[in-house]
Amino acid sequence: MKIFEKDNSLLNHLSESISEGVVIVDSKQQIVSVNNSLLDMFGYSLEELVGQHLDILIPKEMHDKHETYVKDFIKKSDKRQMGQGRNLYGVHKKGHPIPVEAGLNPFEWDNNKYVMALVIDISERVKQEQKIIKLNAALEERIQERTKELNKTVDELQTEIEKRKIAEKKSNLL
């Protein structure tokens, strides 16, 4: 199953020198190659992943949908970002979800079709986005409270102005 490790030291060197996780699957979605970044990201050893079905890295609730996506992708066979407009997750060996981005790159090698996915762990970005959402919600709440206070002050000032106008009219009449 280590078809890319046999005689492609340049490919191995390149895939190990990038920070993105690399996973290559065949047309049956069997994992045929991974780099160390992907192993670190998902917590597996090389021996635990190579030869396994790609489902090992995908949440169980997505297995059926993913099968459909893969078949459609292989038919079209074009490079693309995966999951645009959706949140994507992988599954760590310990079972917890990992938010990811993935770029899919189909290719042929030795008359066989493969897909190479470049996978990026976006956990830190997701945490930062969640912080921003919370901060925005808190800011919006403060704005609403301050707006209420300002409206109350404006109402009080308008009432005071009306009282003064009435008092002025009374004093002018005397």
17: helix, strand or coil: coil
- Give residue 87's pLDDT band: very low, low, confident or very high (50, 70, 90): confident
User: Tokens for 103?
Assistant: 């770029």
Q: Write down the residue that tokens 């009219």 correspond to.
A: 169
Q: CB-based burial of residue 102 (10 Å sphere; 0-12 exposed, 13-18 middle, 19+ buried)?
A: middle
**What is residue 16's predicted lDDT score, i.e. its pLDDT?**
77
Per-residue pLDDT tens over the stretch 97-132: 999 999 888 888 888 888 899 999 999 999 999 999
Angstrom distance (rounded) from CA 109 to CA 107: 7
Q: For the whole model, what pTM was predicted?
A: 0.71
Report the candidate in 19, 53, 13 with the shortest Cα–Cα distance to residue 38. Answer: 19
Please enumerate in sequence order all residues whose Cβ is within 8 A of that of 117, keeping only pairs 6 or more positions apart, or say none: 22, 23, 24, 25, 82, 102, 103, 104, 105
Mean pLDDT throughout 19-40? 93
88: helix, strand or coil: strand
**What is residue 1's predicted lDDT score, i.e. its pLDDT?**
41
Per-residue pLDDT tens over the stretch 38-81: 999 999 999 999 999 999 999 999 888 877 777 777 677 665 65
> 38-76: string of b/e by CB count within 10 Å (b at 16+)?
bbebbebeeeebbebebeebbeeebeeebeeebeebeee
**What is residue 84's predicted lDDT score, i.e. its pLDDT?**
58
